[in-house]
Structure 1
Amino acid sequence: MHFEKAEELLREFKQDRYIYGENVLKQIGKAVKKHGKEVLIVRSKFSGIEPYVKEILESLNDAGIKEVQQEPGPAPNAPLEDLYRITERVREVKPDFLISFGGGSTIDITKAADVLYSLGGDIEDYFGTDQVTEKIKSSGKKLIQHIAIQTAASSAAHLTKYSNITNLKTGQKKLIVDKAIVPDLSMFDYRLTYSAPRELTMDGAMDGFSHSLEVLYSAAGKDYYKKVEEIAETSISLIIMYLPGVLKNPDDREGRKALCLGTDLGGYAIMVGGTNGGHLTSFSLVDILSHGRACAILNPYYTVFFAPAIEEPLKMVGRIFREEGYIKEGIENLRGRNLGIKVAEGMIEFAKTIGFPTRLKDVKGFIDEHIEKALKAAKNPQLRMKLQNMPVPFTEEMIDEYMRPILEAARDGNLTIIKNAE
């Protein structure tokens, strides 16, 4: 049932702008030939990727696209240095369109390189919400076409309006949020995930889970809640039901498909609503944790803080974790903070099952300075959208009083020290 529902939701989301499933790479040439004759492919490099690159090149050639240049993708978390390198390569080639072929970092950096190449300026000009659209309107310029080919069940960057870029000198990640950077066409050949390493499989799945969970929390009480609930219930169910099995048997094709669909729906969720606490804090942990893992550690603690305002979402999420055996007692009669603690405990139990850390102090390289950096980042106007997405109204003045205990709880694994806003 979840598979059919997931595909129905993806059709609703992307219509004919998304090609996905097994053995779809060969369709790339036919799908993009209308965009021009010269293309730059920004591509990842990992074990086993070359046969797929060959498949893409052959399909492009068969479609009459002869001028094909390639540029290596970025290091993890899309560092600024790689953005400048790739942007310069785009300027040299002057392609008719771009293809990104990789995971979230490769796709994100291609979005940002398209912005810098097409619109000019400094990347700092575009961090925040709708800055790209404003520049397009004021300049009369437009982005060149970008076709995103995803290689991992993870961020759903191929489907969304987000581009994460990291300053490695400060260890801080910043975000472009703008519908103008949504790829013009998206593709995901599930075969690319079949040999994904265990760590990538876990991190990617929990990134998708966090997208759906955080948007669900943010949507509580909003007029679009029912749509988000429909998306998130399917997404979270697929990930929680199938991730442990894929970790035990990496060749489980049905499980791999479930993770692809579940994380793609996480992408749908973040196009309907926004993420909040887990994502906000994760941006300050890029030097010690993958994005998905950081969010997975943090979200149980934010769950307790948000609990009085998100009872309806918590009932749904709690039911999924109870059905899968991660919550032993009934939650029907629980409310508010007590409900939040029980659901958070279920999430922590799931994390333990898949081998994730459940507190920051267990992460190699973590120091208390990470908490201070996260609190400072939460006050940055360029990340204000995350505060605004909190299901509990959150102002800059509340950060030290309420966010600090959340992060200290996440450090120590102690849910009881989290304070709830009145």
Structure 2
Amino acid sequence: MADFARARALLQQFKKGTYLHGLGVMPRVGAAVAKHGKRALLLRPKFEASEAFVKQIRDSMDAAGVTRIGEIPGARPNAPYEDVARITAELKKLNPDVIVSFGGGSTIDAVKAAEVMRTLGGAYENYYGMGLVGKALAQAGRTLTPHVAIQTAASSAAHLTKYSNITDMATGQKKLIIDESIVPIQPVFDYNVTFGAPAELTADGALDGCSHCLEVLYGAVGKPHYGLVEEIAREAIQAVVKFLPQAMAAPRDAEAREALGLATDLGGYAIMVGGTNGGHLTSFSLVDVVAHGRACAILNPYYTVFFAPAIQAPLRVVGGIYEAAGYAPHGIANLSGRELGVAVARAMIAFQQKIGFPTRLGDVPAFTPAHITRALTAAKNPQLKSKLENMPVALTADLVDEYMGLVLEAAKTGDLGLIRNLA
């Protein structure tokens, strides 16, 4: 059996003992909910496989004396505006004193945004960016309703974080609220829920969590929190590289499922310490053609080459993980500069090929050059400037077309040689 003690200790450190997670924890949900309110609105998925877990949640809440005043569907993938509006209306009508969301990142993110809209009103645009919700709450003298977020997918770690991604499906553009005020007061993740996840969903989620760690690690160079981020990223990326193929081959392998749950939870820790950058920024413009985690996984090898001269220490960490797993050549740590970046990128691509993932945007059905145009335009939007600021190279809006444009052309074709490094 693998030793997950360090991963568990890091999560304990992160959430200071408040995080309810592991194999078989769902029956303890009711007691956790009861600490925050007695009149609960439950949001839940509607697929048949979720019913047994929904029953556990209901029974546990009943036993804890929590009244369910409503039970409504969660959100569709990518948390469309329309779903956020529907949930906002239900919150206004029912006025719960605790909200319980059982779902993946889209449902949890939609609840975060809906409760902001229910409490503060106004336009979504008022809250995109960093720290604007907390400021508005302070000015209004209000607080958000406690949110118990029960995760169903080893992926986004939305149950642990300050992020809410919501999407305008008409334009295909995702935007982001970033605020400590929207962190769920009680996160829960019973890793048993993931046993029925299909192989593709498992891979998308695991590589989303891996991308969280990778991008934050790249952006942490030279910052005081680098040592912590390196430890988080090492634990998480090692777990994904080792256990993702195992979970895809044997979906009910408890060890592999716990490993991926812990790894993606650590991805949540990473993005609360630092922020994501290139892969996530571009993925926000691809929501109509490819799953988020898959988009990040495709893009990050190409951003790795672009960032390479500025991220030598992270590349040696990541390269060592892929070398130990057999995806990178022996002695990769002896390389340097762009050459090291190219070697790590090729190792990442080799891993993706092993699990049957696309490695170029050009391999994604329905991808068009218009998506590159959309991504470059979004990168210059001030509401997404945090992603540019998190990059390990000083890429400003006026340099986006020249340098990021080549990264995306390389990602489209698979030609790493197209990428130019910023001097």
Give the TM-score normalised by structure 2.
Answer: 0.98
Residue of structure 1 equivalent to 2:259: 258
Residue of structure 1 equivalent to 2:110: 109
The 5 Å alignment of 1:112-191 reads 112-191=113-192
Deviation at 1:62, TM superposition (A): 1.1
Deviation at 1:64, TM superposition (A): 1.2
Moved more, 163-172 or 49-58: 49-58
Alignment check: 8 A CA contact 1:119 1:143 kept: no
Residue of structure 1 equivalent to 2:270: 269
Q: 1:67 to 1:262 in 2, by over 3 A?
A: closer
Q: Secondary structure at the match of 1:48?
A: helix
- TM-superposition CA deviations, 1:186-206 (whole Å, max 9, x none): 101111001111111000000
- TM-superposition CA deviations, 1:261-312 (whole Å, max 9, x none): 0000000000000000000000000000000000000000000000000000
1:71 matched to 2:52? The reply is: no
CA distance in 2, matches of 1:251, 1:376: 42
Residue of structure 2 equivalent to 1:390: 391
Residue of structure 2 equivalent to 1:332: 333
**RMSD of aligned residue pairs (Cα, Å):** 0.9
Residue of structure 2 equivalent to 1:410: 411
Q: Secondary structure at the match of 2:394?
A: coil
Q: Which sections of structure 1, spanning at least 5 residues, go unmatched?
A: none
1:344 matched to 2:338? The reply is: no
CA distance in 2, matches of 1:367, 1:117: 37
CA distance in 2, matches of 1:324, 1:345: 14
Q: Secondary structure at the match of 1:235?
A: helix
Could you tell me which amino acid in structure 2 is paired with residue 114 of structure 1? E
CA distance in 2, matches of 1:294, 1:137: 37
Alignment check: 8 A CA contact 2:24 2:190 kept: yes
Residue of structure 2 equivalent to 1:296: 297
Q: Secondary structure at the match of 2:49?
A: coil
Moved more, 10-19 or 63-72: 63-72
Residue of structure 2 equivalent to 1:244: 245
CA distance in 2, matches of 1:23, 1:245: 21
Could you tell me which amino acid in structure 2 is paired with residue 299 of structure 1? N
CA distance in 1, matches of 2:374, 2:44: 32
1:61 matched to 2:62? The reply is: yes
CA distance in 2, matches of 1:272, 1:299: 20
Q: Secondary structure at the match of 1:292?
A: helix
CA distance in 2, matches of 1:139, 1:396: 34
Could you tell me which amino acid in structure 2 is paired with residue 397 of structure 1? D
Residue of structure 2 equivalent to 1:33: 34
Aligned residues between the structures: 422
Could you tell me which amino acid in structure 2 is paired with residue 42 of structure 1? L
CA distance in 2, matches of 1:277, 1:192: 31
Could you tell me which amino acid in structure 2 is paired with residue 55 of structure 1? Q
CA distance in 1, matches of 2:350, 2:359: 9
1:365 matched to 2:360? The reply is: no
Q: 1:269 to 1:52 in 2, by over 3 A?
A: same
CA distance in 2, matches of 1:380, 1:289: 22
Moved more, 8-17 or 323-332: 323-332
Deviation at 1:2, TM superposition (A): 5.0
Give the TM-score normalised by structure 1.
Answer: 0.99
CA distance in 1, matches of 2:117, 2:422: 41
Deviation at 1:137, TM superposition (A): 1.3
Deviation at 1:34, TM superposition (A): 2.9
1:195 matched to 2:192? The reply is: no
* Identity across matched positions, percent: 56
Deviation at 1:41, TM superposition (A): 1.0
Alignment check: 8 A CA contact 1:100 1:110 kept: yes
Moved more, 344-353 or 134-143: 134-143
CA distance in 2, matches of 1:387, 1:253: 38
Q: Secondary structure at the match of 2:82?
A: helix
Residue of structure 2 equivalent to 1:379: 380
Deviation at 1:35, TM superposition (A): 2.2
- TM-superposition CA deviations, 1:66-120 (whole Å, max 9, x none): 2431110111000000100110011110111101100000100011111111121
CA distance in 2, matches of 1:124, 1:332: 45
- TM-superposition CA deviations, 1:372-420 (whole Å, max 9, x none): 0000000000000000000001111110110000000000000001000
Alignment check: 8 A CA contact 1:2 1:238 kept: no
Q: Secondary structure at the match of 1:7?
A: helix
Q: Secondary structure at the match of 1:49?
A: helix
Deviation at 1:329, TM superposition (A): 3.5
CA distance in 1, matches of 2:227, 2:338: 23
Q: 1:86 to 1:334 in 2, by over 3 A?
A: same
Deviation at 1:247, TM superposition (A): 1.1
Residue of structure 2 equivalent to 1:353: 354
Could you tell me which amino acid in structure 1 is paired with residue 210 of structure 2? F
Moved more, 85-94 or 24-33: 24-33
Alignment check: 8 A CA contact 2:210 2:240 kept: yes
Q: Secondary structure at the match of 2:164?
A: strand
Could you tell me which amino acid in structure 2 is paired with residue 171 of structure 1? G
